[in-house]
Structure 1
Amino acid sequence: MSSAPVLAALRSAVWQLLAGPDRAAVVVPNRATRIGIWFGLAVLSLIDLVQLAGGGGDDQLVVTLLALAHAGAVGLALRLPLTGWRVSFVTTAVSPLLVSTAAVPGPTSTLVLHLGTLFLLAVTVPPAVAALAVAAALLGGAGWALAAGTPGAIVGIAAAPVLVAGLGAALRSLRGTATRLAEAERDTAAEQARRAVLEERTRIARELHDVVAHHLSAIAVRAESAPHRVPSAAPAAAEFTTIAGAARDALADMRRLLGVLRADDPDRPGAPLPTVDGIAGLVVGLRGSGMAVELEVAGTPRPVPGDVGLAAFRVAQEALSNAARHATGAAVSVRVRWLPDAVRVQVHNGAGEDAGSGGGTGLLGMRERVAAVGGFLVAGPGPDGYTVDATLPTGDRG
């Protein structure tokens, strides 16, 4: 019972080596290397032709065809490793039968070309299939050595295929490891990006709580005081009381939600959330640290929704932080433009030691914040540095 899986695996390997389908593969991906290989094959083909014709009494057409087949098999193995090895094995095996060469089991060039197909095969197929190809080469070589009465050549014949196939299998293993590492790095990067987005959305939700809570509190207060402030609203006092109660219930739910979001956050902000006006304070702070920052405000400032003001401040804060980290010594300009229905925040840094945005989670966070309020953001390098440009609507977003 225990030998059944081994026999099944052996049968599968034998079938794959001798008759299995051959899938196209790019064994040598580098174009320059492939050109070098083809040049080497042309040289070896000429050497093989000379060595095969060394007897002088053979049919020159047969000799030429054999030399071309030996070299062509290696070229074929660059795309179809199994097919190339099969062609090489058959032509190498029959060569001593067709030409009168004194070498056993054939000329050196012929053996080198066959070892080339064996190496390309070992790089692409499972080790069991490569081991069978090695065994076939050993049996064929040993048979010719014994038939020629030179058993001492068996040792040399045995060493070369084993070494070449071993190198090919090692390269296959290294390639597999490199591929798995690259995939793992891609998965890790994707997971980190996803986690960064989720964390940023959580931070946005924490900060927006105060904005929403303020609006709900205002609704509750105005609903409760409406019957006293507006005499004509006295008949609807019960309706206003219901509205105020619903607003307070929503406010309580918001507080419970915030408690969940802040369960693992020891740094709970207690100060009022910043808005567009806070950008000037950022600039002043950076100037105090020795950074050359220019601030320009165009248009007439006006009150904006709390989430819009917070998003504008955070975009400027993150962009200035990136400029300080990645463009050390470069001049930085901040422009706040008040448009009829939007506020536009632009942060540009010149080329410093490593001018750029950093390419980390900061840009993801900026995009999330701007998208959350219905705006859009453009960020990227230019000929003279890096620019972050965010436009945030200030009107009714429905």
Structure 2
Amino acid sequence: MSDYLKSYVKPIKIENVDEYYSLIQEISLSDTSRIFAENLSHSAHINMLIKEISILLANSLRLYEMGYFDNAYYSLRSANELATVMLGLSDKEDFKIKNNFKKFRKGKYKTGRSKIIDELSKEGIFFKEVIDKMPNFEDDISVLLKEINDVVHNNGLDKFYCFRYHSLDKDLPYKKLEEFTKHLSKSIRILAIMRLIVDPLPLLITEDEIYYRCPQIIFFPFSDKMLSVIGQESIDEFKQTDTYKSMEEQILSLKKRNPAVNDFLIHKVIDLDKIEDIYSQKHLISENELKILDMCCCTNKIVEINYGNGSYIFFTSLNSDGNIYNCLDIDELIKINDYYNISHKGIYVSVMNIKGNNRTDILKNSYNIVYIFHEEKLDNEEIKCIEKILMDFSII
């Protein structure tokens, strides 16, 4: 960059920048498992939009730090507009959702932000109720977008690079930085609420009574920091919506897991000192998951069980570092003569196959191979115990 341009484009440090990135990551990780129009691909598309919104927010933050504040505001505006599109695509009856996604995939969904907000305010299944219960939310969206557009459209001399760094007010760049972080925080707040409109689980599972009952947790609850950004008043208002209350009532009707079972089912961690606690709620555990537990009762040496080509990984409390051990590939399996007690990364691995353990079966379908990683060598009795359990394992 020439010295001439450097006089206008100047990097600026944002204090506590990691806190902003952490909040953005929370939105990125808050995938929805809600099935739209009985089609899992719609949920996948919504999750892709959530990721894209997060990337735009992160881009905005990085660009501002680099000194490109106008580009930062373009990304900030795009994030807000895309979040509105996300609601416009999903907050409809099933047949409209299908039509919307069909248009969106082909780049033909051209409805503008203002029109989407207006339609959802009148006809939205969830959004309409949210703005009824949260009367300031719609205005918050409009005011934020107006302020962002004022910057994007250079509405005023203070929006110019040359004025910002050469005005008599030497503190102007820092005043503008404070304004940007305010707009960023407001955007994160609004986008977090829009994410909750898709489904309220990130807020619901902040409550232990919900968390220990929720059958499908594929993301983390919103943190205290995120809840603080959303604001207690808005949280209390959102909790009064039928969207929130109906899902809360539905989940509260389910059986509550004890902590040991919750760690096993949700975090895939088996506390070997609390095996009895886990078995005490075996009615909440699937057949194959119970077999995983049974295998751990054959020996006190197991640190990890991995099957389904890594789709299912369970740690035991012996694996205190949370290491994930790599499975052996087919070429390695062909070369070895024995599938038990193979030296592997400072421990041992035994390779077993569901419904049989001859060489042909193991190489036929790698998806049905079970890898058992253990601290010490398994003896013959332990191997026989595990093999017997695997014979009753359900093929995936």
Q: TM-score, length-normalised on structure 2?
A: 0.22
